[in-house]
Amino acid sequence: MPTKIEKDSLSGQNTTGHEWDGLKELNTPLPKWWLWTFYACIAFSLVWVVIYPALPIPGATGTSGWIAREAVVRDVQEAEARMAPMMNRLRAATPAQIAADPEMRAFAMAGGRGAFANNCAGCHGAGGQGALGGFPSLADDEWIWGGSLDAIHQTITHGVRANESDDQRQSMMPRFLADGVLTRPQVNDVAEHVLSLTNRATDQASAGRGAELYADNCASCHGEKGEGNRDLGAPRLSDQVWLYGGDKAAIVQSIAKARAGVMPSWGKRLDPAIINMLTVYVHSLGGGE
Amino acid sequence: MGEIKTPDKLKPESVAEAAIPSLYADRQRVYPKAVFGKIRSVKWAVLILCLALYYLVPWLRWDRGPGMPDQAVLVDMTNARLFFFWIEIWPQEIYFLTGALILGAFALFAVSSLFGRLWCGFTCPQTVWTDLFMFVERWIEGDRNARMKLDAGPRNGIYWARKIAKHGAWALIAAATGGAWIMYFNDAPTITRQFFTGEAGVMVYFFFALFAGFTYLLAGWAREQVCTYMCPWPRFQAAMLDENSLVVTYHDWRGEPRGKAKAEGVGDCVDCAACLHVCPTGVDIRDGQQLECIGCGLCIDACDSVMGKLGRPKGLVAFETLKNLSASAAAAAALPPGPERQQAGMAARRVPRFIRPRTIMYASALAVVALVMLGAFLMRSTLDVTVLRDRAPLFVRLSDGGIRNAYTVKIVNKTRDEAPLTLTLEAPAGLRLTVQDVEAIGEGRYALSRRGDGITQYRVFITAPAGARLGESTPVTFRLLDSAGRPATSQSSVFLGPKP
């Protein structure tokens, strides 16, 4: 508590009344300009509270009716209006036309990059590098359903085995062991034969037995020499790109229980213009055909 | 308290009795008088040159071909280019501007150490515009005595008419100054039309108002207060000056003691105060060197004309070194006032030492910076290539077991030459170069077209065959050849693969 307020004769100011080891402190008022600025700020804030939605009450708007959310909506609408002419062109064009037109292509690459990061990168990776376990790389030269602009467009639009579109990429590999088509030793033999397609078989006798089983059960889709069939989404078995792993255990697992990766039908979710942009972008990642 | 003695004047009782003086001093208005003479003529010439340069340079044209601005000096913010006659600076070359500023600083140091405050007194924009404003003021309100009388007199119709005329004229000059500023950032004829039709952007009006407002404020109202209180340069320019620098000085050894022209036994200074009346900052040069003196030398003209009328030698106030001043003072010390003292003092003067360690240092620094700038400018590349390696994925395994890396190659073309360049790869054997959407013109050679005055971007792949014995990281170099097959520019990068 202030004990003894006294007037300082030098400056004419009162002291605060506190005393610390003989030291006293002047109670100098704030400069006038500072005080007036401070009062002006208070007055300004009162006006602000009335005009703008400053009170933490749900649904409270100021007298101006300005709402941050509406401002965002307006900004988004403005941006969309600005992009509309180009988006209309992208919607009307085919992916091939877009890729051939420098202006549309530049727009599609930029928009495709964003759309890819938002929708595709979760499974296919930021640069389309894919991931082991059924998420194909989009940057290599191996395509399950085809790597041309039209094939990519078809796959993105209708999806794979998601049962969301009648035109989806559809095929079903039998579960050879689980459904009792092959016995466990036979599955092993087929796996050895598949390994032999890339010269990796360890048991030539087993591989030899597997050759006939392969010809009967697998070759119709995967091809006699494992060259694959894109119409059926049957991956090539004679190369070094493996969707679910290329070691023997993974191959046995694939034969025994089958694999069936799924991708949603993006035609149901995205604007056709964005699908076109995605098509051109994915095609440019390195694998486009 | 108690044991420590307090000086009497600090004792509360004694202070309370004496009135405490305010620490605030009002500005003494300066009414500079018109002056004629050699230095005034030089100042007029410098003023006309500087203002003509500032107001007219934006109107100079320079043909750069179609699609390019034809303004000789232009800071093009929208397209991020700085045009200076035949030079075109890109944002990444802004160090040329830094270099020019360093060059300017060293030139300022060198000139200051040789000739004193030439910059302050003659070419500083504050001095130039204040001079112009004072000229207008003198023209409308009359010379020193008339202005003092006007300000002290009644606030009648004449008073207001003159004040309004003066401030109107000032406002016009200020508007022209702000108007010229925006022309350096926009095409002058276009922005002039847009400015008056209201089509110009908000920023244009903002910078116009900013520069017009501050011209009016600083040259009309603040004047010498800018030099005395705001400008940092007078604070540290003393570090550049020494006893060999030419500064505006009063030859006190000759002038003192002051007295009437016909009085006996007095110096040459007749105490007419002409030097004081013409000073734009209101200092008395006879008090010696002082911070407020901007070295404009108008007091020299004033004093010379008085000395001329009295038939005495000129140069009582002159550009002189402090060394000469003390030499003259020493030579004249024993003599009584009169022509003999004057001659003895003048005879003791020597040619100023212009070459001395300080000036040699400034000159060398100036030369080094100038040479570096010149070298950088001559070796300035007009064509650059940048290579950005894909980071996701670092590399791609292909179906045949090969490894592929992807790169973004950007050709930065600072000229308007659009002749295609040939891209080749310098890398260990086996690595193969391909460019997306571009057909090869030969083994590992691709003709890449480029935009004039812009950046062209390509997606480029390098593929290593299956089984290539490469490490995790292999250095590679992308090389661009011009149409004659000569190396134009190159950029190195790496090719990444799995751990062997």
The pLDDT of residue B418 is: 85
DSSP state of B338: S
pLDDT score of B131: 94
Q: How far apart are CA A231 and CA A216, in angstroms?
A: 19
Q: Do B461 and A286 touch (CB under 8 A)?
A: yes
The pLDDT, as a whole number, for residue B265 is 81
B104 and B223 belong to one structural domain? yes
Hey, what amino acid is at B314? K
Q: In this structure, are B219 and B137 located in the same domain?
A: yes
Both B208 and B263 in one domain: the answer is: no
Residue B310 lies in a domain: yes
Quote the domain boundaries for residue B490: 383-496
Please report, for the domain that includes residue B454, its CATH number: 2.60.40.10
Task: Give the rounded percent of residues in chain B with a pLDDT score beyond 70.
Answer: 96
Region B451-456: mean pLDDT is 85
Beta carbons of A140 and B390 less than 8 Å apart: no
pLDDT: which is higher, B148 or B338: B148
* C-beta of residue A62 within 8 angstroms of C-beta of residue A54: yes
Which of B236, B258, B288 is the endpoint of a domain? B236
B424-435 average pLDDT score:
90
Same domain, B414 and B480: yes
Two structure tokens written together for B456: 């062209």
Q: Which residue of B has its CA nearest to A11?
A: B20
Query: Tens of pLDDT along chain A (289 residues)?
Result: 566 788 888 778 888 888 888 888 888 889 999 999 999 999 999 999 999 888 888 877 888 888 888 899 999 999 999 999 999 999 999 999 999 998 999 999 999 999 999 999 999 998 898 888 889 999 998 999 999 999 999 999 999 999 998 999 999 999 999 898 999 999 999 999 999 998 888 889 999 999 999 999 999 999 999 999 999 999 999 998 999 988 999 999 999 999 999 999 999 999 999 999 999 999 998 888 8
Please report the pLDDT score of residue B159 as a whole number: 93
Do residue B399 and residue A129 have CB atoms under 8 angstroms apart?
Answer: no
In a domain, B12, yes or no: no
What confidence tens digit (pLDDT) does each residue in B252-268 have?
888 888 888 787 788 88
The predicted pLDDT at position B466 comes to 87
Specify the number of domains making up chain B: 3
Note the pLDDT tens digit of each residue in B186-233: 999 999 999 999 888 899 999 999 999 999 999 999 999 999 999 998
- Residue A14: φ, ψ to 5°: -75, 155
d(CA B277, CA B282): 7
Q: How far apart are CA B417 and CA A105, in angstroms?
A: 24
What gap in Å lies between CA A279 and CA A147, rounded to an integer? 10
Q: Is any Cβ of chain A less than 8 angstroms from the Cβ of B16?
A: yes
- Is the model's pLDDT at B1 over the cut of 70? no
In a domain, B415, yes or no: yes
Nearest one of B314, B341, B330, B313 to B257, comparing CA atoms: B341
pLDDT of residue A271: 93
Domain stop point among B214, B236, B258: B236
In a domain, B117, yes or no: yes
Last residue of a domain, one of B188, B214, B236: B236
Say whether both B208 and B253 belong to one domain.
Answer: no
Question: How far is B220 from chain A, CA to nearest CA, in Å?
Answer: 25
Task: Tell me: do B281 and B416 sit in the same domain.
Answer: no
Q: What is the pTM of this model?
A: 0.70
Give domain status of residue B88, yes or no: yes
- For residue B59, tell me if it sits in a domain: yes
Same domain, B97 and B230: yes
Adjacency order of strands within the sheet including B473-481:
B440-442, B445-448, B421-426, B473-481, B487-496
Residue among A127, A137, A240 minimizing CB distance to B390 = A127
- Same domain for B309 and B165: no
pLDDT tens readout for residues B383-414:
889 999 988 888 988 888 899 999 999 998 88
Q: How much of chain B exceeds pLDDT 90, in percent? A: 50
Average pLDDT of chain B to the nearest whole number: 88
Find the distance separating the first CA and the last CA of chain A, reported in whole Å.
Answer: 86
Distance, CA of B271 to chain centre: 39
* Interface test mutation site (partner B, options A101, A105, A120, A140, max chain B beta carbons within 10 A): A140
pLDDT number for residue B363: 93
Residue B181: C-alpha distances to residues A140, A200, B45, B206, B317 (Å):
56, 76, 22, 11, 38
CB contact under 8 A, B399 and A142: yes
Q: Is residue B362 part of a domain?
A: no
Q: Is the pLDDT of residue B485 over 90?
A: no
Q: How far is A9 from chain B (nearest CA, A)?
A: 6
| Together in a domain, B484 and B421 | yes
CA–CA separation, A215 and B90 (whole Å): 66
Residue B390 buriedness (CB in 10 A; 0-12 / 13-18 / 19+): buried
pLDDT at B64: 84
Does some domain include residue B220? yes
- For residue B15, which residues of chain A lie inside 8 Å, CB to CB? 9-10
Cα(B384)–Cα(B34) distance, integer angstroms: 58
Q: Does one domain contain both B114 and B130? A: yes
Distance (Å) of CA B334 to CA B64, B315, B345: 71, 21, 11
Q: Are residues B308 and B284 in the same domain?
A: yes
Residue type, A18: H
Chain A residues with CB under 8 Å of a chain B CB are 9-10, 22, 99, 125-129, 137, 139-142, 236, 239-241, 284-286, 288
Using CA coordinates, name the residue in chain B closest to A243: B399
Q: State both tokens at A113.
A: 């990059």
Q: Which residue has the higher pLDDT, B40 or B340?
A: B40
Judge if B185 and B297 occupy the same domain.
Answer: no
In the block, residue with structure tokens 């900052």 = B281
In this structure, are residues B177 and B52 in contact, taking their beta carbons and an 8 Å threshold? no
